[in-house]
């Protein structure tokens, strides 16, 4: 079976959740099928030809911003002609759908991740363009994957379509102890600290988190792509001089990242949009006590067993009485939930079964 994965910046992962998914699908399934992953040579100029046993196909357009929509459409148009099943990740190719044949559309499995048109980072025009792209994709794809029960309900209520509920894995995260040398590079390791890793964008509650921690004495470490946007540069400049806020650039070395997050006192998750976020399930698998923004998505993933905040007032109150919570018990509950629900063996097996079902349906049709 020839299968293509479309909609990512590319692999190896240097960006986000869809790239993580593509990584583990390649790791677990590329020896069982002929897999191609589409990548942007603009975003990944020093790309390789193979990733595990998956072929990498490069397109000379950036996968970000509005050029990302053109990138997605070009990749998807080629993929549906050359492959039997296409997993499309995101929202960017919606306006291509009316120009595909019924046979081509029947090959497409859509995972659009979350309600991107609701993200604060977009202006009103961008939100409308993204919304209609989503509608065209959902209405015309043969099958929908929802990574969160809230997305599953949204698809059924908004489009009267069923979807397969398949989340993300978190078991790539691992406990990493620090050494004496690490204290020189990361002085915050000497005290209990809170930690977060995310894309630096407004709907991840970046400023809410920083302004709240600024009013406490708890060291807070935030890792992200600060220099990738004017928003990130502005926020970093505003808060970087605070002595107990540590704003670190994105870390792609797993050992270093896991060293910092697996030893934190409290993991902060500010995502307010999307479905099941990979960084959240990774923190859960590490057994970290978690304080999450009070969204339906986050509450579903953590089964209402984490700590939650909805604004700066509630977060500051939570932080001021952090010693009164059973943080060890919360961390153990997070680990149990992740072990049962968010492992890549389970997730990739679900995708494999779905690929087989879609291919069989198309062959029978």
What are the chain's domains?
2-169+343-364 (3.40.50.2000), 180-341 (3.40.50.2000)
Run of H or E residues at 88: strand 85-89
123 vs 260, more confident: 260
Q: Are 28 and 344 in contact (CB under 8 A)?
A: yes
Helices in 196-326 by DSSP H: which ranges? 206-214, 230-239, 254-261, 278-285, 296-301, 312-320
E strands along 18-63, which residues? 34-40, 50-51, 54-59
Mean residue pLDDT of the chain comes to 93
**Per-position b or e across 61-89, b if 16+ CB within 10 A of its CB:** bbbeeeebbbbbbbbbebbbeebbbbbbb
Six-digit token pair at 125? 């025009």
Amino acid 260: pLDDT: 96
From 285, 246, 263, 264, select the one nearest 176 (Cα to Cα): 263
Amino acid 327: pLDDT: 98
Residue 121 in this model has a pLDDT that exceeds 80? no
Residue 275 in this model has a pLDDT that exceeds 90? no
What is the per-residue pLDDT across 281-315, written as a single tens digit (0 to 9) for each?
999 999 999 999 999 999 999 999 999 999 999 99
Residue 127 in this model has a pLDDT that exceeds 90? no
Residue 262 in this model has a pLDDT that exceeds 70? yes
DSSP-derived 3-state class of residue 4? strand
Amino acid 14: pLDDT: 75
Share of the chain above pLDDT 70, in %: 98
From 342, 228, 204, select the one nearest 285 (Cα to Cα): 342
Confidence of residue 328 (pLDDT cuts 50, 70, 90): very high
**Measured between alpha carbons, how far is 14 from 9 in angstroms, rounded to an integer?**
8
Judged by average pLDDT, the poorest of 119-128, 167-176, 197-206 is: 119-128
Amino acid 136: pLDDT: 94
Edge-to-edge order in the sheet of strand 2-6: 50-51, 54-59, 34-40, 2-6, 85-89, 108-111, 143-146, 164-165
DSSP-derived 3-state class of residue 166? coil
Q: Which residue has the tokens 């559309």?
A: 105
Residue 242 in this model has a pLDDT that exceeds 90? yes
Residue 114 in this model has a pLDDT that exceeds 70? no
Confidence of residue 104 (pLDDT cuts 50, 70, 90): very high
Residues 6+ positions from 164 with CB-CB distance below 8 Å = 143, 144, 145, 146, 350, 354
Confidence of residue 97 (pLDDT cuts 50, 70, 90): very high
Q: Are 23 and 12 in contact (CB under 8 A)?
A: yes
**Measured between alpha carbons, how far is 219 from 241 in angstroms, rounded to an integer?**
13
Share of the chain above pLDDT 90, in %: 81
């Amino acid at each position: 079976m020839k299968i293509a994965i479309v909609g990512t910046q590319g692999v190896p992962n240097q960006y986000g959740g869809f790239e993580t998914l593509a990584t583990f699908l390649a790791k677990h399934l590329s020896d069982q099928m002929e897999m191609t992953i589409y990548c942007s040579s603009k975003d990944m100029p020093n790309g390789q030809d193979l990733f595990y046993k998956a072929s990498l196909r490069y397109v000379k357009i950036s996968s970000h911003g509005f050029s990302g929509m053109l990138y997605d459409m070009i990749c998807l148009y080629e993929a549906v002609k050359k492959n039997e099943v296409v997993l499309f990740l995101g929202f960017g190719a919606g306006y291509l759908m009316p120009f595909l044949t019924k046979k081509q559309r029947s090959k497409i499995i859509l995972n659009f991740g979350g309600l991107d048109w609701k993200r604060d980072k977009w202006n009103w025009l961008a939100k409308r363009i993204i919304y209609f792209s989503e509608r065209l994709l959902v209405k015309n794809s043969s099958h929908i994957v929802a990574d969160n029960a809230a997305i599953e309900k949204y698809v059924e209520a908004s489009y009267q379509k069923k979807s397969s509920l398949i989340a993300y894995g978190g078991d790539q995260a691992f406990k990493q102890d620090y050494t004496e040398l690490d204290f020189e590079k990361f002085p915050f390791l000497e005290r209990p600290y809170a930690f977060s890793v995310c894309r630096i964008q407004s709907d991840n509650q970046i400023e809410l988190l920083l302004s709240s921690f600024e009013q406490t004495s708890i060291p807070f470490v935030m890792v992200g792509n600060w220099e990738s946007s004017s928003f990130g540069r502005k926020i970093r400049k505003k808060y970087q001089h605070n002595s107990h806020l540590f704003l670190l650039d994105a870390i792609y070395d797993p050992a270093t990242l896991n060293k910092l997050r697996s030893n934190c006192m409290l993991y902060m998750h500010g995502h307010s949009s999307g479905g099941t976020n990979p960084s959240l399930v990774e923190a859960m698998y590490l057994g970290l006590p978690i304080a999450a923004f009070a969204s339906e998505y986050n509450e579903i993933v953590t089964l209402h067993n984490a700590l939650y905040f909805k604004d700066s007032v509630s977060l500051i109150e939570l932080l001021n009485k952090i010693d009164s919570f059973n943080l060890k018990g919360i961390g153990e509950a997070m680990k149990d939930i992740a072990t049962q629900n968010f492992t890549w063996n389970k997730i990739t097996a679900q995708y494999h079964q779905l690929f087989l079902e879609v291919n069989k349906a198309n062959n029978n049709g």
